Amino acid sequence: MTACDPLGTVGSSATLVKISMRKLPRLITFVFGFLILVVVTGFAAQRFFFSSVIIESGGTYDFEIGQNRAEAFQTAQRLVSQGRASEIHTWPAGEFHRPFRDDEIPTDDDSPSWSIVIDPDWWNNSVTLTFEDDRVVRIRRNRVLWELP
Per-residue confidence in pLDDT tens, the chain, 149 aa: 555 555 555 555 555 556 566 777 888 888 888 898 888 887 666 666 667 788 899 988 899 999 998 899 889 889 989 988 888 888 777 777 777 776 776 767 778 888 888 877 766 788 889 999 989 999 998 877 655 55
CA-angle at 116, arms to 111 and 122, nearest 5°: 125
Listed by start position, the domains of the chain span 52-144
